[in-house]
Each structure stands twice: as structure tokens, then as C-alpha cells.
Amino acid sequence: MTGRDTEPRQTPAEIQAEITREQRRLAETLDELSEQARPANIARRQIGRARERGARIVDEARALVVGGGAVRVESHLVAPEEGSIVIKGDDEVVTTYQSRRRLPPEALILAVGVGAVIAVGVVAWAVRRRG
């Protein structure tokens, strides 16, 4: 008697049920991928990334303006989102600063100005890409 004769065999109904489960799983995976690939969702993720980068630039500008009043708390690499396409040099370093004292009004005005310039740049970039 060979090993094949002793193995349990699936019935046609069990095979059909397994095929149906796999088809359902593949359909769900395709639905998830199509949801991620929608232009509106891609734009939403890109805007979120731009906001995060803008916040980092504002933090760095605040540290430069304040000078010795800001202390770097930590810096770390951020891994790209799962499923995203990474281009060489696209690693992102996030640095956190903490102010030792209240910021002077000039620093706040500079931070708002930098934020406005970044916002206008992102909007102009998005309009140019769409057009």
C-alpha cells in the first residue's frame, strides 16, 4: 500500500467550498487594493504627508529662530506606509524639539508665515498636477 492510498481525500463539495473561500478572499483583497488606488485616497494620503512635513519644517524653523531656547528631544527614521512605493532617498527623519521658554511673537509670526508659504505651495503643486 502506498502513502497516497492512506491520505484522506477531499470530497468535491469540500474542494468547491475551498475554491469559494479563496475566491472570496481574493475579491476582498482586490477591493482593498482598488480602494487604496483611488485618486482621492492617494491625494488624501499625500496631503497628510505634506502636513506632517510642514509641521516638521515649522518645528525646525522654531528651533532656529529661538536659538538656544529649543532642545532636540529625539530624532528617528519613519518607515514608509505599508504598500507604498519607496523611491531611493525617500526615507523620512522626524525630529522633535522642545522649547525651554515661551516663544517670542516674532517666532510665532515666522512659523505662521512658513506654514502659509507651505500651504500655498502645496495647493499650487496640486493644481499644476491636475491641470
Q: Is residue 6 part of a domain?
A: no
pTM of the model: 0.36
Residues 11-53 have pLDDT tens digits of 989 999 999 999 999 999 998 888 888 888 888 888 888 888 8
Integer Cα distance of 46 and 79 in angstroms: 15
Residues 76-101 have pLDDT tens digits of 676 666 666 656 655 666 666 666 66
Q: Is residue 5 part of a domain?
A: no
Q: Is residue 29 part of a domain?
A: yes
Number of domains, the chain: 1
Which domain does 30 fall in, by range?
12-81+92-130
Q: Is residue 17 part of a domain?
A: yes
Distance between alpha carbon 69 and the CA centroid of its chain, in Å? 31
